[in-house]
Amino acid sequence: MSKELADLLFQKVVDMPADYLKFYPKRLTPAFRLAPSPTGYLHLGNFYSGFIQFFEAKRNKGIFFLRLEDTDQKREIKGAGEIAYTTLVNYGVTPHEGYRGDSLPEIGGYGPYVQSKRVDIYHCFAKDLIRRGNAFPCFCGVTQSKKEILEKREKELQENEGIAEKDCCRDLTFDQIKEKVSKGEGFAIRLRSKGDGTKTRKVVDLFKGEREIKENAKDIILLKRNGIPPYALAHMIDDTLMRTTKVIRGEDWYASLPSHIELFEAAGLPLIQYGHNPLICTIDERSGNKRKLSKRYDPHADMRYYNQVGYPTEAVHEYLLTLANSDFEPWRIANPNKYIDEFPFSLDKIGSNNPIFDLHKLDHISKNIIAKKTCEQIIKEVTEFFKGKEIDTEKIFQILAIDRETDKPRKDIAKYSEIPFVYNYLFQAPESGSNDVAREYAKYYNHDANAEDWNAYIGKRKKDVRLALTGKESGPDLYKIMQILGEEEVLKRLSN
Protein backbone atom coordinates (compact mmCIF):
# COMPACT_ATOMS: atom_id res chain seq x y z
CA MET A 1 0.00 0.00 0.00
CA SER A 2 2.83 2.41 0.81
CA LYS A 3 4.03 2.94 -2.77
CA GLU A 4 0.49 3.11 -4.06
CA LEU A 5 -0.41 5.62 -1.35
CA ALA A 6 2.67 7.73 -2.07
CA ASP A 7 1.76 7.90 -5.77
CA LEU A 8 -1.84 8.82 -4.91
CA LEU A 9 -0.87 11.71 -2.64
CA PHE A 10 2.06 13.05 -4.70
CA GLN A 11 1.16 12.31 -8.31
CA LYS A 12 3.35 15.07 -9.73
CA VAL A 13 6.49 14.19 -7.75
CA VAL A 14 8.83 12.03 -9.84
CA ASP A 15 12.24 12.77 -8.28
CA MET A 16 13.76 10.56 -5.59
CA PRO A 17 15.82 11.65 -2.59
CA ALA A 18 18.84 9.98 -4.22
CA ASP A 19 18.56 12.45 -7.10
CA TYR A 20 18.94 15.41 -4.76
CA LEU A 21 21.69 13.75 -2.73
CA LYS A 22 23.60 13.37 -5.99
CA PHE A 23 22.84 16.92 -7.12
CA TYR A 24 24.22 18.42 -3.87
CA PRO A 25 27.68 16.83 -3.52
CA LYS A 26 29.57 16.40 -0.29
CA ARG A 27 31.63 19.42 0.70
CA LEU A 28 35.40 19.44 0.89
CA THR A 29 35.36 21.66 4.01
CA PRO A 30 33.20 21.82 7.16
CA ALA A 31 30.00 23.86 6.85
CA PHE A 32 28.08 25.69 9.57
CA ARG A 33 24.90 27.67 9.22
CA LEU A 34 22.61 30.20 10.78
CA ALA A 35 18.97 29.75 9.82
CA PRO A 36 16.74 32.48 11.28
CA SER A 37 13.03 32.86 10.64
CA PRO A 38 11.98 36.24 9.18
CA THR A 39 9.59 37.02 12.01
CA GLY A 40 11.22 40.21 13.28
CA TYR A 41 14.65 41.55 14.12
CA LEU A 42 17.68 39.30 14.61
CA HIS A 43 17.61 38.30 18.28
CA LEU A 44 20.82 38.35 20.31
CA GLY A 45 20.39 34.62 20.97
CA ASN A 46 20.17 33.87 17.26
CA PHE A 47 23.17 36.06 16.53
CA TYR A 48 25.13 34.36 19.33
CA SER A 49 24.48 30.96 17.75
CA GLY A 50 25.64 32.26 14.36
CA PHE A 51 28.61 34.03 15.93
CA ILE A 52 30.03 30.90 17.53
CA GLN A 53 29.52 28.96 14.29
CA PHE A 54 31.23 31.72 12.32
CA PHE A 55 34.27 31.42 14.59
CA GLU A 56 34.19 27.62 14.41
CA ALA A 57 34.09 27.81 10.62
CA LYS A 58 37.11 30.14 10.61
CA ARG A 59 38.99 27.87 13.01
CA ASN A 60 38.39 24.89 10.72
CA LYS A 61 38.85 26.82 7.45
CA GLY A 62 35.25 26.01 6.67
CA ILE A 63 32.11 27.68 5.34
CA PHE A 64 29.52 29.72 7.23
CA PHE A 65 26.25 30.13 5.35
CA LEU A 66 22.91 31.82 5.91
CA ARG A 67 19.61 30.09 5.23
CA LEU A 68 16.24 31.77 5.61
CA GLU A 69 13.59 29.56 7.21
CA ASP A 70 10.46 31.32 5.99
CA THR A 71 7.93 28.49 6.16
CA ASP A 72 5.93 30.12 9.00
CA GLN A 73 4.10 32.48 6.68
CA LYS A 74 1.58 33.68 9.27
CA ARG A 75 4.33 35.19 11.44
CA GLU A 76 6.57 36.43 8.64
CA ILE A 77 7.41 40.14 8.69
CA LYS A 78 8.30 41.78 5.41
CA GLY A 79 11.96 42.80 5.25
CA ALA A 80 13.01 40.72 8.28
CA GLY A 81 15.31 38.54 6.17
CA GLU A 82 17.06 41.62 4.86
CA ILE A 83 17.47 42.85 8.44
CA ALA A 84 19.04 39.55 9.48
CA TYR A 85 21.61 39.58 6.68
CA THR A 86 22.45 43.28 7.11
CA THR A 87 22.85 42.83 10.86
CA LEU A 88 25.32 39.99 10.39
CA VAL A 89 27.34 42.05 7.91
CA ASN A 90 27.32 45.10 10.20
CA TYR A 91 28.92 43.00 12.94
CA GLY A 92 31.54 41.46 10.70
CA VAL A 93 29.87 38.03 10.66
CA THR A 94 29.42 38.03 6.90
CA PRO A 95 28.25 34.66 5.52
CA HIS A 96 30.54 33.09 2.95
CA GLU A 97 27.56 31.61 1.18
CA GLY A 98 23.77 31.61 1.07
CA TYR A 99 20.98 34.16 1.34
CA ARG A 100 22.12 37.80 1.15
CA GLY A 101 18.92 39.74 1.64
CA ASP A 102 16.21 40.38 -0.90
CA SER A 103 18.26 42.83 -2.95
CA LEU A 104 21.34 40.68 -3.61
CA PRO A 105 21.63 37.32 -5.39
CA GLU A 106 22.48 34.21 -3.40
CA ILE A 107 26.02 32.87 -3.38
CA GLY A 108 26.83 29.17 -3.38
CA GLY A 109 25.97 25.91 -5.08
CA TYR A 110 23.64 24.48 -2.41
CA GLY A 111 20.63 26.73 -2.86
CA PRO A 112 18.02 27.90 -2.98
CA TYR A 113 18.81 29.14 0.52
CA VAL A 114 15.25 30.34 1.17
CA GLN A 115 12.99 27.50 2.26
CA SER A 116 9.86 28.73 0.48
CA LYS A 117 11.74 28.14 -2.79
CA ARG A 118 12.51 24.50 -1.91
CA VAL A 119 8.97 23.10 -1.63
CA ASP A 120 9.44 20.58 -4.48
CA ILE A 121 12.40 19.10 -2.62
CA TYR A 122 10.38 18.73 0.58
CA HIS A 123 7.56 16.99 -1.29
CA CYS A 124 10.04 14.52 -2.74
CA PHE A 125 11.26 13.47 0.71
CA ALA A 126 7.72 13.48 2.14
CA LYS A 127 6.62 11.12 -0.63
CA ASP A 128 9.57 8.86 0.12
CA LEU A 129 8.62 8.74 3.82
CA ILE A 130 5.14 7.54 2.83
CA ARG A 131 6.68 5.03 0.41
CA ARG A 132 8.73 3.70 3.32
CA GLY A 133 5.60 3.38 5.44
CA ASN A 134 6.89 6.01 7.87
CA ALA A 135 4.36 8.78 7.19
CA PHE A 136 0.64 9.09 6.54
CA PRO A 137 -1.96 11.69 5.55
CA CYS A 138 -3.97 13.39 8.29
CA PHE A 139 -7.35 14.81 7.32
CA CYS A 140 -8.09 16.48 10.66
CA GLY A 141 -8.47 20.05 9.52
CA VAL A 142 -9.88 23.44 10.27
CA THR A 143 -13.43 22.12 9.75
CA GLN A 144 -13.07 20.00 12.86
CA SER A 145 -13.08 21.54 16.27
CA LYS A 146 -10.35 20.84 18.78
CA LYS A 147 -12.96 18.99 20.85
CA GLU A 148 -13.78 16.67 17.93
CA ILE A 149 -10.14 15.85 17.28
CA LEU A 150 -9.50 15.13 20.98
CA GLU A 151 -12.58 12.89 21.12
CA LYS A 152 -11.29 10.91 18.11
CA ARG A 153 -7.92 10.47 19.77
CA GLU A 154 -9.51 9.43 23.05
CA LYS A 155 -11.55 6.79 21.23
CA GLU A 156 -8.41 5.58 19.44
CA LEU A 157 -6.58 5.38 22.75
CA GLN A 158 -9.35 3.32 24.38
CA GLU A 159 -9.71 0.93 21.46
CA ASN A 160 -6.01 0.33 20.79
CA GLU A 161 -4.43 1.15 24.15
CA GLY A 162 -2.07 3.30 22.17
CA ILE A 163 -0.28 6.46 23.19
CA ALA A 164 -2.37 9.61 23.12
CA GLU A 165 0.25 11.36 21.01
CA LYS A 166 -0.53 9.07 18.08
CA ASP A 167 -2.77 10.64 15.46
CA CYS A 168 -6.29 9.34 14.86
CA CYS A 169 -5.81 9.22 11.05
CA ARG A 170 -2.78 6.95 11.10
CA ASP A 171 -4.75 3.74 10.59
CA LEU A 172 -7.05 4.81 7.78
CA THR A 173 -7.18 2.21 5.00
CA PHE A 174 -6.05 2.96 1.49
CA ASP A 175 -9.65 2.96 0.28
CA GLN A 176 -10.68 5.39 2.99
CA ILE A 177 -7.83 7.71 2.08
CA LYS A 178 -8.56 7.41 -1.62
CA GLU A 179 -12.20 8.32 -1.04
CA LYS A 180 -11.27 11.40 0.99
CA VAL A 181 -8.78 12.52 -1.65
CA SER A 182 -11.32 12.02 -4.42
CA LYS A 183 -13.72 14.29 -2.54
CA GLY A 184 -11.06 16.98 -2.47
CA GLU A 185 -10.45 16.81 1.27
CA GLY A 186 -7.25 18.54 2.27
CA PHE A 187 -4.64 16.75 4.30
CA ALA A 188 -1.40 17.22 6.19
CA ILE A 189 1.41 14.65 6.28
CA ARG A 190 2.46 13.26 9.64
CA LEU A 191 5.29 11.05 10.80
CA ARG A 192 4.18 7.54 11.69
CA SER A 193 6.08 7.42 14.93
CA LYS A 194 7.35 4.05 16.10
CA GLY A 195 8.61 5.47 19.36
CA ASP A 196 7.54 4.57 22.86
CA GLY A 197 7.29 7.57 25.15
CA THR A 198 8.03 5.43 28.19
CA LYS A 199 11.44 4.33 26.88
CA THR A 200 14.68 6.27 26.68
CA ARG A 201 17.66 6.35 24.38
CA LYS A 202 21.17 7.77 24.60
CA VAL A 203 22.19 10.85 22.65
CA VAL A 204 25.39 12.88 22.57
CA ASP A 205 24.97 16.64 22.46
CA LEU A 206 27.90 18.87 21.53
CA PHE A 207 27.45 20.97 24.67
CA LYS A 208 25.46 18.78 27.06
CA GLY A 209 27.48 15.62 26.46
CA GLU A 210 25.88 12.17 26.71
CA ARG A 211 22.29 12.26 27.89
CA GLU A 212 19.28 9.96 28.21
CA ILE A 213 16.16 11.25 26.49
CA LYS A 214 12.71 9.78 26.05
CA GLU A 215 11.84 8.36 22.66
CA ASN A 216 9.55 10.38 20.46
CA ALA A 217 5.92 9.28 20.69
CA LYS A 218 4.35 12.03 18.59
CA ASP A 219 3.09 11.82 15.05
CA ILE A 220 4.58 15.20 14.28
CA ILE A 221 3.46 17.17 11.24
CA LEU A 222 5.83 16.95 8.28
CA LEU A 223 3.80 18.92 5.74
CA LYS A 224 1.00 21.30 6.60
CA ARG A 225 -2.24 21.28 4.65
CA ASN A 226 -0.86 24.02 2.40
CA GLY A 227 2.04 21.77 1.41
CA ILE A 228 4.61 23.78 3.37
CA PRO A 229 6.77 21.88 5.88
CA PRO A 230 7.35 23.07 9.44
CA TYR A 231 10.83 23.19 10.90
CA ALA A 232 11.20 19.45 11.59
CA LEU A 233 11.14 18.16 8.02
CA ALA A 234 12.57 21.28 6.36
CA HIS A 235 15.69 21.55 8.50
CA MET A 236 16.44 17.82 8.24
CA ILE A 237 16.34 17.92 4.45
CA ASP A 238 18.17 21.24 4.12
CA ASP A 239 20.95 20.41 6.54
CA THR A 240 21.42 17.05 4.84
CA LEU A 241 21.53 18.42 1.29
CA MET A 242 23.49 21.56 2.20
CA ARG A 243 25.98 19.23 3.92
CA THR A 244 25.83 21.01 7.27
CA THR A 245 28.58 19.59 9.49
CA LYS A 246 26.84 20.16 12.81
CA VAL A 247 23.38 21.50 13.65
CA ILE A 248 23.95 24.13 16.31
CA ARG A 249 20.87 25.83 17.75
CA GLY A 250 19.48 27.20 21.00
CA GLU A 251 18.69 24.80 23.82
CA ASP A 252 15.00 25.69 23.52
CA TRP A 253 15.03 23.18 20.63
CA TYR A 254 16.35 20.39 22.86
CA ALA A 255 12.85 19.12 23.73
CA SER A 256 12.24 18.49 20.01
CA LEU A 257 15.39 16.41 19.60
CA PRO A 258 13.71 12.98 19.99
CA SER A 259 11.28 13.67 17.12
CA HIS A 260 14.07 15.02 14.92
CA ILE A 261 16.24 11.96 15.55
CA GLU A 262 13.35 9.63 14.69
CA LEU A 263 12.68 11.60 11.52
CA PHE A 264 16.27 11.14 10.31
CA GLU A 265 15.94 7.41 10.94
CA ALA A 266 12.55 7.23 9.23
CA ALA A 267 13.98 8.94 6.15
CA GLY A 268 17.01 6.65 6.06
CA LEU A 269 19.38 9.59 6.36
CA PRO A 270 22.56 9.71 8.49
CA LEU A 271 22.00 11.69 11.66
CA ILE A 272 23.82 15.02 11.83
CA GLN A 273 25.38 15.82 15.19
CA TYR A 274 23.32 18.28 17.21
CA GLY A 275 24.53 20.88 19.66
CA HIS A 276 22.14 22.96 21.75
CA ASN A 277 24.00 26.04 22.91
CA PRO A 278 22.94 27.58 26.23
CA LEU A 279 20.49 30.47 25.98
CA ILE A 280 21.71 33.91 27.01
CA CYS A 281 19.70 35.04 30.01
CA THR A 282 19.31 38.09 32.18
CA ILE A 283 18.28 38.78 35.77
CA ASP A 284 14.76 40.18 35.91
CA GLU A 285 14.77 43.48 37.80
CA ARG A 286 11.28 42.92 39.14
CA SER A 287 11.48 39.33 40.34
CA GLY A 288 15.24 38.91 40.73
CA ASN A 289 14.98 35.60 38.84
CA LYS A 290 16.91 34.43 35.80
CA ARG A 291 14.97 34.55 32.53
CA LYS A 292 15.56 34.57 28.79
CA LEU A 293 16.23 37.90 27.11
CA SER A 294 12.87 39.24 26.02
CA LYS A 295 11.82 41.29 23.01
CA ARG A 296 9.29 42.97 25.26
CA TYR A 297 11.49 43.97 28.18
CA ASP A 298 15.06 44.06 26.86
CA PRO A 299 15.87 46.49 24.02
CA HIS A 300 19.35 44.96 23.80
CA ALA A 301 17.79 41.64 22.71
CA ASP A 302 17.62 43.30 19.27
CA MET A 303 21.05 43.07 17.65
CA ARG A 304 20.51 46.44 15.98
CA TYR A 305 20.64 48.06 19.42
CA TYR A 306 24.43 47.85 19.71
CA ASN A 307 24.97 49.64 16.41
CA GLN A 308 22.32 52.20 17.22
CA VAL A 309 23.92 53.23 20.52
CA GLY A 310 27.46 53.07 19.14
CA TYR A 311 29.20 50.03 20.60
CA PRO A 312 32.22 49.15 18.43
CA THR A 313 31.88 45.80 16.69
CA GLU A 314 34.99 44.51 18.44
CA ALA A 315 33.40 45.14 21.84
CA VAL A 316 30.37 43.02 20.96
CA HIS A 317 32.63 40.26 19.65
CA GLU A 318 34.85 40.24 22.71
CA TYR A 319 31.92 40.23 25.12
CA LEU A 320 30.21 37.33 23.36
CA LEU A 321 33.47 35.39 23.45
CA THR A 322 33.56 35.81 27.24
CA LEU A 323 30.14 34.13 27.32
CA ALA A 324 31.12 31.36 24.91
CA ASN A 325 34.61 30.38 26.14
CA SER A 326 35.48 31.01 29.78
CA ASP A 327 39.20 31.09 29.02
CA PHE A 328 38.86 34.10 26.72
CA GLU A 329 39.22 36.67 29.52
CA PRO A 330 42.52 35.30 30.91
CA TRP A 331 43.74 34.98 27.30
CA ARG A 332 42.92 38.64 26.66
CA ILE A 333 44.71 39.73 29.86
CA ALA A 334 47.79 37.76 28.81
CA ASN A 335 47.55 39.02 25.21
CA PRO A 336 46.23 42.60 25.37
CA ASN A 337 47.38 43.53 21.87
CA LYS A 338 46.56 40.40 19.91
CA TYR A 339 43.78 40.26 17.35
CA ILE A 340 40.67 38.39 18.41
CA ASP A 341 41.15 35.93 15.53
CA GLU A 342 44.26 34.63 17.29
CA PHE A 343 42.22 33.33 20.24
CA PRO A 344 41.93 29.51 20.14
CA PHE A 345 38.13 29.43 20.08
CA SER A 346 36.47 26.04 20.37
CA LEU A 347 32.94 24.66 20.55
CA ASP A 348 34.28 22.12 23.02
CA LYS A 349 34.75 24.88 25.59
CA ILE A 350 31.12 26.00 25.55
CA GLY A 351 29.47 24.78 28.74
CA SER A 352 25.87 23.81 29.42
CA ASN A 353 25.03 26.64 31.84
CA ASN A 354 23.04 29.63 30.64
CA PRO A 355 25.30 32.71 30.63
CA ILE A 356 23.98 35.94 32.16
CA PHE A 357 24.12 38.98 29.91
CA ASP A 358 25.66 41.95 31.72
CA LEU A 359 25.57 45.36 30.02
CA HIS A 360 27.94 46.77 32.65
CA LYS A 361 30.57 44.21 31.69
CA LEU A 362 30.05 45.02 28.02
CA ASP A 363 30.58 48.69 28.88
CA HIS A 364 33.85 47.86 30.64
CA ILE A 365 35.12 45.89 27.65
CA SER A 366 33.98 48.59 25.24
CA LYS A 367 35.71 51.40 27.18
CA ASN A 368 39.00 49.54 26.90
CA ILE A 369 38.52 48.96 23.18
CA ILE A 370 37.55 52.56 22.39
CA ALA A 371 40.49 53.82 24.46
CA LYS A 372 42.94 51.79 22.35
CA LYS A 373 41.70 53.09 19.01
CA THR A 374 43.96 55.43 17.08
CA CYS A 375 42.92 58.98 16.24
CA GLU A 376 42.38 57.89 12.66
CA GLN A 377 40.12 55.02 13.71
CA ILE A 378 38.11 57.13 16.14
CA ILE A 379 37.54 59.87 13.57
CA LYS A 380 36.26 57.33 11.05
CA GLU A 381 33.89 55.61 13.48
CA VAL A 382 32.58 58.78 15.13
CA THR A 383 31.98 60.36 11.72
CA GLU A 384 29.98 57.32 10.64
CA PHE A 385 27.98 57.21 13.88
CA PHE A 386 26.97 60.88 13.81
CA LYS A 387 26.36 60.93 10.07
CA GLY A 388 23.24 63.00 9.37
CA LYS A 389 23.11 64.39 12.92
CA GLU A 390 23.68 68.05 13.76
CA ILE A 391 26.69 67.96 16.04
CA ASP A 392 30.13 69.61 16.00
CA THR A 393 32.28 66.57 15.28
CA GLU A 394 35.46 68.69 15.11
CA LYS A 395 35.19 69.43 18.83
CA ILE A 396 34.52 65.75 19.47
CA PHE A 397 37.61 64.70 17.52
CA GLN A 398 39.73 67.16 19.50
CA ILE A 399 38.57 66.01 22.92
CA LEU A 400 38.78 62.32 22.02
CA ALA A 401 42.36 62.91 20.88
CA ILE A 402 43.39 63.96 24.41
CA ASP A 403 45.74 61.29 25.82
CA ARG A 404 44.94 58.98 22.89
CA GLU A 405 47.74 56.77 21.56
CA THR A 406 49.54 56.99 24.88
CA ASP A 407 50.44 54.41 27.52
CA LYS A 408 47.46 55.49 29.61
CA PRO A 409 44.60 56.42 27.27
CA ARG A 410 41.39 57.84 28.72
CA LYS A 411 38.40 55.55 29.19
CA ASP A 412 35.54 58.01 29.34
CA ILE A 413 33.00 56.42 27.02
CA ALA A 414 31.65 52.91 26.42
CA LYS A 415 29.62 53.78 23.33
CA TYR A 416 29.56 56.69 20.92
CA SER A 417 26.03 57.75 21.86
CA GLU A 418 27.44 58.82 25.26
CA ILE A 419 29.62 61.52 23.70
CA PRO A 420 27.03 64.37 23.75
CA PHE A 421 26.34 63.64 27.43
CA VAL A 422 29.83 62.88 28.74
CA TYR A 423 31.24 65.90 26.91
CA ASN A 424 28.10 68.04 27.04
CA TYR A 425 30.19 71.06 28.09
CA LEU A 426 31.63 71.19 24.58
CA PHE A 427 28.27 72.36 23.32
CA GLN A 428 26.74 74.34 26.18
CA ALA A 429 27.80 75.99 29.43
CA PRO A 430 27.04 74.06 32.63
CA GLU A 431 23.85 75.09 34.42
CA SER A 432 25.75 75.45 37.70
CA GLY A 433 27.45 78.59 36.37
CA SER A 434 30.69 80.09 37.64
CA ASN A 435 32.04 80.55 41.17
CA ASP A 436 34.05 83.16 43.04
CA VAL A 437 37.40 81.47 42.42
CA ALA A 438 36.75 81.15 38.69
CA ARG A 439 35.51 84.74 38.39
CA GLU A 440 38.66 86.03 40.09
CA TYR A 441 40.82 83.84 37.85
CA ALA A 442 39.12 85.26 34.75
CA LYS A 443 40.82 88.60 35.39
CA TYR A 444 44.25 87.02 34.84
CA TYR A 445 43.41 84.30 32.28
CA ASN A 446 45.87 84.19 29.38
CA HIS A 447 44.59 81.98 26.56
CA ASP A 448 47.95 82.10 24.77
CA ALA A 449 49.96 80.70 27.70
CA ASN A 450 51.62 77.35 27.02
CA ALA A 451 50.53 74.25 28.93
CA GLU A 452 53.56 74.20 31.24
CA ASP A 453 53.15 77.83 32.34
CA TRP A 454 49.42 77.47 32.69
CA ASN A 455 49.66 74.41 34.92
CA ALA A 456 52.24 76.14 37.10
CA TYR A 457 49.98 79.14 37.48
CA ILE A 458 46.54 77.53 37.97
CA GLY A 459 47.55 75.51 41.06
CA LYS A 460 44.77 74.75 43.52
CA ARG A 461 42.24 76.75 41.55
CA LYS A 462 41.98 74.02 38.88
CA LYS A 463 39.00 72.24 40.49
CA ASP A 464 36.90 75.41 40.74
CA VAL A 465 37.84 76.48 37.23
CA ARG A 466 36.95 73.05 35.87
CA LEU A 467 33.54 73.20 37.58
CA ALA A 468 32.84 76.60 36.07
CA LEU A 469 33.84 75.47 32.58
CA THR A 470 32.50 71.89 32.49
CA GLY A 471 30.25 71.37 35.50
CA LYS A 472 32.34 68.31 36.36
CA GLU A 473 34.98 67.64 39.01
CA SER A 474 37.12 65.48 36.72
CA GLY A 475 37.72 64.86 33.05
CA PRO A 476 40.30 65.25 30.30
CA ASP A 477 43.19 67.70 30.53
CA LEU A 478 41.63 71.06 31.44
CA TYR A 479 44.15 73.14 29.52
CA LYS A 480 43.28 71.27 26.31
CA ILE A 481 39.56 71.64 27.00
CA MET A 482 40.03 75.41 27.26
CA GLN A 483 41.86 75.44 23.94
CA ILE A 484 38.96 73.55 22.34
CA LEU A 485 36.35 75.91 23.80
CA GLY A 486 38.23 79.01 22.67
CA GLU A 487 39.13 82.20 24.53
CA GLU A 488 35.79 83.95 24.15
CA GLU A 489 33.76 81.00 25.47
CA VAL A 490 36.19 80.33 28.34
CA LEU A 491 36.02 83.97 29.55
CA LYS A 492 32.24 83.98 29.21
CA ARG A 493 31.89 80.89 31.40
CA LEU A 494 34.45 82.00 33.95
CA SER A 495 32.83 85.40 34.35
CA ASN A 496 29.19 84.33 34.38
What's the pLDDT score for residue 152? Answer: 53
Task: Write down the mean pLDDT value for the chain.
Answer: 92
Residue 151 has pLDDT above 80, yes or no: no
- DSSP bridge pairs for 136: 190
pLDDT band for position 157 (cuts 50, 70, 90): very low
pLDDT in tens, 217-226: 999 999 999 9
Average pLDDT over residues 137-160: 58
Query: What percentage of residues in the chain have a pLDDT greater than 70?
Result: 95
Query: What percentage of residues in the chain have a pLDDT greater than 90?
Result: 87
pLDDT in tens, 417-450: 999 999 999 999 999 999 999 999 999 999 999 9
Task: Evaluate whether 243 touches 24 at the Cβ level (below 8 Å).
Answer: yes
Selection from 184, 169, 171 nearest residue 139 by Cα = 169
Task: Evaluate whether 242 touches 204 at the Cβ level (below 8 Å).
Answer: no
Residue 110 has pLDDT above 80, yes or no: yes
Residue 287 has pLDDT above 90, yes or no: no
56-to-20, 31, 252, 341 alpha-carbon distances in Å: 27, 9, 21, 11
Q: Indicate the residue type of 393.
A: T
Rounded CA-CA distance 482/469 in Å is: 8
pLDDT band for position 144 (cuts 50, 70, 90): very low
Kind plus residue range of the DSSP H or E element containing 308: helix 304-309
Q: What is the DSSP letter of 357?
A: P
Residue 52 has pLDDT above 80, yes or no: yes
Average pLDDT over residues 170-199: 94
Rounded CA-CA distance 319/190 in Å is: 43
Residue 160 has pLDDT above 90, yes or no: no
What's the pLDDT score for residue 150? Answer: 52
Task: Evaluate whether 141 touches 225 at the Cβ level (below 8 Å).
Answer: yes
What's the pLDDT score for residue 166? Answer: 72
- DSSP bridge pairs for 273: 246
Task: Evaluate whether 284 touches 291 at the Cβ level (below 8 Å).
Answer: yes
Q: What domains lie within the chain, and their CATH numbers?
A: 2-10+133-191 (no CATH), 17-121+223-277 (3.40.50.620), 282-370 (1.10.1160.10), 373-495 (no CATH)
